[in-house]
C-alpha cells in the first residue's frame, strides 16, 4: 500500500486536468502558468485549439506546435506536400505558425523560446513576431 501511494504521489503532478479536442492538459502544464513568463507546447496547442473552435473560420489557420515543428523539420518534399495538403494553406487568408527554437528532431517538445510567424496572403508576406527580437529568426526562416 505504501509503494502504491508513493507511485501516485510521484505522478500526481502529471494528473490529467483537461482534455479538449485532441489536447490533454496535465497538472504540470498548469504549474508553468504561475509565472513568470513561460509556455509549453501543450498550452499553446490548447489555446490554438480553443480559438479555432470558439471562432471558427476557414480564412484563418492556427498551426499548432507539433505540426509547425514537423513542417520545419521535414526534409522530404513529397512527404511535406502530402502532410500539408489537408491544411488547405492555399485557401487561407491568414496562417499563424508557432515557432520554437528547438532544432533536435529527437526531442519534439524541446527548445526554450516561442515566437509567431504569420503569413498574410493578401500581401504575400510573412511577418515574424518575436518578443526577444531576432532570437527565433533562423527557426522562422526554416519554417
Q: Where are the domains of the chain?
A: 37-142
Q: Name which of 105, 113, 109, 111 is nearest 129 in CA terms.
A: 113
- pLDDT tens-digit map of 44-85: 999 999 999 999 999 999 999 889 988 988 889 999 999 999
Question: CA–CA separation, 61 vs 121, rounded Å?
Answer: 12
- pLDDT tens-digit map of 82-92: 999 999 999 99
**pTM score, two decimals?**
0.77
Q: How does DSSP classify residue 143?
A: -
In this structure, which CATH number among 3.30.1330.50, 3.40.50.300, 3.40.395.10, 3.20.20.70 belongs to the domain 37-142?
3.40.395.10
Amino acid at each position: 500500500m505504501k509503494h502504491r501511494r508513493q507511485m501516485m504521489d510521484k505522478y500526481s503532478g502529471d494528473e490529467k486536468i483537461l482534455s479538449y479536442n485532441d489536447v490533454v492538459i496535465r497538472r504540470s502544464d498548469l504549474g508553468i502558468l504561475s509565472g513568470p513568463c513561460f509556455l509549453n507546447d501543450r498550452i499553446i496547442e490548447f489555446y490554438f485549439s480553443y480559438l479555432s473552435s470558439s471562432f471558427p473560420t476557414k480564412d484563418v489557420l492556427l498551426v499548432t506546435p507539433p505540426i509547425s515543428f514537423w513542417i520545419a523539420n521535414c526534409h522530404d518534399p513529397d512527404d511535406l506536400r502530402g502532410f500539408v495538403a489537408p491544411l488547405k494553406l492555399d485557401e487561407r487568408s491568414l496562417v499563424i505558425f508557432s515557432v520554437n527554437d528547438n532544432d533536435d528532431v529527437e526531442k519534439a517538445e524541446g527548445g526554450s523560446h516561442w515566437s509567431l510567424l504569420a503569413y498574410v496572403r493578401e500581401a504575400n508576406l510573412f511577418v515574424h513576431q518575436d518578443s526577444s527580437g531576432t532570437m527565433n529568426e533562423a527557426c522562422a526562416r526554416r519554417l
